Structure 1
Amino acid sequence: MRMAYLILAHDNAAQLGRLVERLLVSGNEDIAIIHADRASLLWPELEGELPGPAGRVHLIADPVTVRWGHWSQVAAVSKLVGEALRLGCDAAHLISGADWPLLPRAALAQEMARGMCHIEVRPGHLEERMQTYRFDTRYLRLDPQEDARAYAVTWQLRRLARWGDGARRLLRLDRARPFGPWSYGATWWSLPADALQILGEILPCTLASGRLNGTVCSDEHVIPTIIGAHFPERIAPNRRFVDFPHGASSPRTLTCEDTPALEASGAFFARKFDMGRDPFFLDLPRS
Structure 2
Amino acid sequence: MSNGPVVVLALSHDSPGLLRLLADGVLRGSNSVFVVHHDPRGPALDLPTDDRVVRVPNPTHLRWGREDLGLAILDSLEFCLDRYAELSWVLVVSGRDQLCRPMRAIESTLAESSHDAYARWFAVPRRPDTPEHPWQVQCRKRYLQRVRLPGTHHSVPFVRRNPFDDGTGLFIGDAWVNLSGRALRHVIEQRHGLGDVERFLSRCTATDEALLPTLLHNGDTGLRIADTTRRFMRWTPGAAHPAVLRPADIPAVVASDAFFARKFDDLETAMELQSAYTDMGRAT
Query: What TM-score do the two structures reach when normalised by structure 2?
Result: 0.80
Q: Which residue of 2 aligns with 1:129?
A: 142
Please tell me whether the aligned partners of residues 16 and 97 of structure 1 are also in contact (alpha carbons under 8 angstroms): yes
Distance 1:131 1:232 in 2: 27
1:135–1:123 distance in 2 versus 1, CA, 3 Å: closer
Taking the TM superposition and a 5 Å limit, the aligned residue runs for 1:51-130 are: 51-88=47-84, 89-113=87-111, 114-116=113-115, 117-124=117-124, 125=136, 126-130=139-143
Taking the TM superposition and a 5 Å limit, the aligned residue runs for 1:191-270 are: 191-203=179-191, 206=194, 210-230=199-219, 231=221, 234-236=224-226, 237-270=228-261
Q: Any idea what SS the aligned residue of 2:273 has? A: helix
1:203–1:73 distance in 2 versus 1, CA, 3 Å: farther
Q: Which blocks of at least 5 consecutive residues in structure 2 are unaligned?
A: 125-135
Shift of 1:112: 1.9
Query: What TM-score do the two structures reach when normalised by structure 1?
Result: 0.79
Shift of 1:106: 3.0
1:205–1:284 distance in 2 versus 1, CA, 3 Å: farther
Q: Any idea what SS the aligned residue of 2:93 has? A: strand
1:51–1:112 distance in 2 versus 1, CA, 3 Å: same
Q: Any idea what SS the aligned residue of 1:98 has? A: coil
Kindly provide the amino acid, as one letter, of the partner of residue 130 in structure 1. Answer: Y
Please tell me whether the aligned partners of residues 5 and 95 of structure 1 are also in contact (alpha carbons under 8 angstroms): yes
1:284–1:200 distance in 2 versus 1, CA, 3 Å: farther
For residues 16-46 of structure 1, the C-alpha deviation after alignment (integer angstroms, 9 at most, x for no partner) is 11110111116x23111111123x233xx24
Distance 1:41 1:66 in 2: 10
Kindly provide the amino acid, as one letter, of the partner of residue 123 in structure 2. Answer: P
Shift of 1:137: 6.1
Kindly provide the amino acid, as one letter, of the partner of residue 258 in structure 1. Answer: D
Q: Which residue of 1 aligns with 2:39?
A: 37
Identity %: 24
Q: Which residue of 2 aligns with 1:274?
A: 265
Distance 2:70 2:18 in 1: 24
Give the paired residue count.
Answer: 254
Distance 1:277 1:24 in 2: 20
Kindly provide the amino acid, as one letter, of the partner of residue 236 in structure 2. Answer: P
Q: Any idea what SS the aligned residue of 1:285 has? A: helix
For residues 225-264 of structure 1, the C-alpha deviation after alignment (integer angstroms, 9 at most, x for no partner) is 2222344651112211112222222221111111221122
Q: Any idea what SS the aligned residue of 1:134 has? A: strand
The alignment's C-alpha RMSD in Å is 2.4
Q: Which residue of 1 aligns with 2:128?
A: none
Distance 1:197 1:19 in 2: 26
Please tell me whether the aligned partners of residues 183 and 223 of structure 2 are also in contact (alpha carbons under 8 angstroms): no
Q: Any idea what SS the aligned residue of 1:20 has? A: helix
Distance 1:233 1:86 in 2: 21
Please tell me whether the aligned partners of residues 137 and 215 of structure 1 are also in contact (alpha carbons under 8 angstroms): no
Taking the TM superposition and a 5 Å limit, the aligned residue runs for 1:177-196 are: 177=164, 180-196=168-184
Indicate the larger mover: 129-138 or 15-24: 129-138
Distance 1:266 1:53 in 2: 31
Instruction: Specify which structure has the higher proportion of helix.
Output: 1
Shift of 1:277: 6.2
Shift of 1:78: 1.2
Distance 2:257 2:99 in 1: 11
Please tell me whether the aligned partners of residues 32 and 57 of structure 1 are also in contact (alpha carbons under 8 angstroms): yes
Please tell me whether the aligned partners of residues 36 and 54 of structure 2 are also in contact (alpha carbons under 8 angstroms): yes
Q: Which residue of 2 aligns with 1:149?
A: none
Kindly provide the amino acid, as one letter, of the partner of residue 59 in structure 1. Answer: R
Indicate the larger mover: 100-109 or 180-189: 100-109
Distance 2:223 2:183 in 1: 12
